[in-house]
Amino acid sequence: MYTILISSTTPINAEYFSYKRKFPPSHYLLKIKSYSLLSKAEKYESDIFETGGYKWRLTFYPNGDKNNNGNNYISLYLILVLVGSTGSSKRFNSMKTKCGFSQLLKLETFKNPQNGYLICDFCVFGAEVFVLKHTGNWESVSVNKPSPISNATFNWKIKKFSTLKDELYRSEVFAIRGRNWKLTVYPNGDAIGKGEWLSLYLTPTGWESLSTKAAVYADFKLCVIDQVNGKHMEYSVSQECFIHSRNYRGWGKSEFFPLKDLRDASKGFIVRNTLIVKVEFLVISETKRVFKRLLQKD
């Protein structure tokens, strides 16, 4: 028994291969009882059969498909067809509908009864078709430098800083390239920075409602602004991955800036009891989802 297996994500992008095995194909068999008579014809097209939600037929060339270098071979193809309401078969258009082998077996090998393919003028061909239903959904991701840069910067003025008593404070929501973010500050430090450091985080917010759950990759800077000397305290972050999760804090540092330096008036970080922190996105990824039917029938 000689088997053709067709494996495909769609009937259009098929991978097909042949191999020998002891048991016959399970989807369709083509039994030819008088090969010597049929061999006088150029080809034989089987009846239509259905598997994987599509209509198919086998096309057999008993003396080879001479138009595809099949001389001195037998050729066998699997054809994708569509049965119309009138009962006539109609092929799909504008796409590949034929998969198979122009050189399946050499005629000499096929006709030698010792090989077991052709016995008493009788032979059997078959196909198994495995179609993985593809949703047709895909996504594209691009990594871009925001332009103009002013659209990728957010400044947060935290007033009456010395009077803040809560453990943490969050900025208003701001949008960069279609994503919402917040800055989170711990005035008296968080975790290992508690009591000695200002802690600062960049946090995604409201991403649960977005159609895409793809991660976002970004290069950005978090800054504490020196309002007097212009010597800002900043951290540059490269290719940080932000994910979708309710409990995801984002990126930040519990030991972002020492409180003793922050509170030193000569260093210029707090002016008129106002602290300014800033985030600036240098590069950010953008993912778009596309929903599309890959296979169209006419």
> What pLDDT digit, counting tens, does each position of 15-59 carry?
444 555 555 556 788 999 989 989 998 999 898 888 878 888 899
Q: Which residues contact 233 (CB under 8 A, 6 or more apart)?
A: 223, 224, 226, 256, 257, 269
pTM of the model: 0.55
Cα angle 25-43-101, degrees, rounded to a multiple of 5: 50
The pLDDT value recorded for residue 257 is 96
Q: pLDDT tens digit string along 225-284?
A: 999 999 999 999 988 888 777 677 889 999 999 999 999 999 999 999 999 999 999 988
Helix-, strand-, coil-residue percentages of the chain, each rounded to 5: 10, 50, 40
- Rounded Cα distance between 102 and 105, Å, is 9
Strand, helix or coil at 131? strand
Strand ranges, E, within 33-132: 44-45, 49-51, 54-61, 73-83, 89-91, 98-106, 123-131
The pLDDT value recorded for residue 91 is 41
